[in-house]
Structure 1
Amino acid sequence: MAVAATKEPNRLILFTDAVVAIAVTLLVLPLVDVVPEVAREHRPATEVITGHQPEIWTFLLSFAVIIRLWLSHHKAFQHVRAYSTPLVLCNSAWLLAIVVLPFPTEMVGVFDNSRFTTGLYIGTVFVATGLQAAMYLIIRIDPEVASEDTPLPGEFVLGAVTAAVLLLLALVVALTVPGVGYWALLLLLLSGPVEWAWRRRHAVAAA
């Protein structure tokens, strides 16, 4: 019998929110360091922006990625009435991926489109998304975890699994096709059509 499954999820949620907030804050630190660097070299203040656009765009992208993952996590945990050991382990691993993300983010700004940094960045996002899909599966199928009144909709699992598969494909493309780099992330735009096709196929099969 899983003792952890009898516990309220509030502490886990609050801890997760705090760690995500710290990770988001860490993203901006490399940009903060740019200011004294420009001042020491007596360059115009505008070069804080114009001379470091890759770092700025990478920051904005990573900020959007983390916030999107957190918002999805927040919505999913509204359907949790208790947490289990597998859910805690998946959540902890997911937090590790979120905390690690500022590291490849800074590397992207420094090393541009090298294959290693591209793979490290997309791979980190893939791991975070895959772990999120695993959490959603646990929340949906474990009766001791899922809310009895408002179970997790299947769309959550479908969306996370679709995103993880597309990110894995983006990782393979970025590592194997020269010159593609971060453009491979545009594959994520297919998530909407893929989910629609899956739901349509499932509806036809059930009819």
Structure 2
Amino acid sequence: MILIAWCCLLTLLPLVDLANERVDHPVEIVTGNWETIGSFALSFVVIARLWLTHHRMLAHVARYTNGLVLWNMAWLFTAVLLPFPTELVSQYGSDTFTMAFYMGTVLASSICLSAMTAVIYRSPDIQDPENPLDVWHLANGVTTTALIAVALVLALVVPGVNYFALFLLVLTPVILRSWARART
């Protein structure tokens, strides 16, 4: 949790630097820096969602394995890295490389979370016996990861879509409900 708070702080620092700009009225700082403010807001939401997913997933773990710890370290790397592409987003907007780097980092983070979920799901011996991980968690992770991958491809292939492609993530619960109905 401390690491995630630190990542959020790192995404906030460029906003703090804006307060040092000399302008006639402070509102000019806000109105003239929508890209920086927007990239902070986007990354805060992304980091919060990644952390919540991580937190909920680890609530099912009673003990750790080397594989789980390694995937967790990879996930932590993506969380620590995220403020850097966020700053690039504030500076370069929807530049193709910037967009691919930002969304690729989010995708890598989601892949790590899905891999951790798979490790936990496939290892009942490490799960909390009173709170076992069910297949729904695995399906949620895989669905989210797949939608981020589709969003990345869509953002790169269709001009003008850019970061709006991440709104595909709102389909996660719809897909999961359809999957649950198909299973019963």
TM-score range, shorter chain: over 0.9
Pair 1:33-2:17 in alignment: yes
Which letter maps to 1:86? G
Give distance in 1, aligned partners of 2:154 and 2:50: 23
Show structure 1 runs of 4+ deviating over 2 A.
Answer: none
Partner residue of 1:63? 44
Question: Aligned residues: percent identity?
Answer: 40
Residues 150-186 of structure 1: per-residue CA shift (max 9 Å, x gap): 2112221111110100000011111111121111112
Distance in 2 between residues matched to 1:101 and 1:161, nearest whole Å? 21
Distance 1:113 1:184 in 2: 12
Larger Rg: 1
8 Å CA contact retained: 2:19, 2:29? yes
Q: Which amino acid aligns with 1:100?
A: L
CA distance in structure 2 between the aligned counterparts of 1:79 and 1:44, rounded to whole angstroms: 51
> What amino acid is aligned across from residue 119 of structure 2 in structure 1?
I
TM-score under structure 2 length normalisation: 0.95
Q: Which amino acid aligns with 1:135?
A: M
Residue 43 (structure 1) shift:
4.1
Q: Aligned partners of 2:101, 2:169: CA distance in 1, in Å?
A: 17
User: Quick one: distance in 1 between partners of 2:130 and 2:173?
Assistant: 28
Q: Distance in 1 between matches of 2:59 and 2:51?
A: 13
Q: Secondary structure at the match of 2:126?
A: coil
Q: Please name the residue that 1:197 is paired with.
A: 178
**1:79 and 2:60 are equivalent in the alignment:** yes
**In the alignment, residue 73 of structure 1 is paired with which amino acid?**
H
The one-letter amino acid paired with 1:183 is: F
Q: Which residue is 1:22 aligned to?
A: 6
Aligned partner of 2:28 in structure 1 is 47
Aligned counterpart in structure 2 of residue 105 of structure 1, from 71, 78, 86: 86
What number of residue pairs does the alignment pair up?
184
Deviation at 1:73, TM superposition (A): 1.3
Q: Once the 2 structures are TM-superposed, how far is the Cα of residue 18 of structure 1 from its aligned partner?
A: 2.0
The secondary structure found in structure 2 opposite 1:144 is helix
Q: Could you tell me which residue of structure 1 aligns to residue 118 of structure 2? A: 137
Q: Report the residue type matching 2:161 in the other structure.
A: V
**Partner Cα distance (2:73, 2:24) in 1:** 43
Q: Does 1:118 align with 2:99?
A: yes
Written as runs of structure 1 = structure 2, the 5 A alignment for 1:5-16 is none
- Match for 2:162: what amino acid? G
Structure 2: tracts of 5 or more residues without a match:
none
Tell me how far 1:70 sits from its aligned partner.
0.9
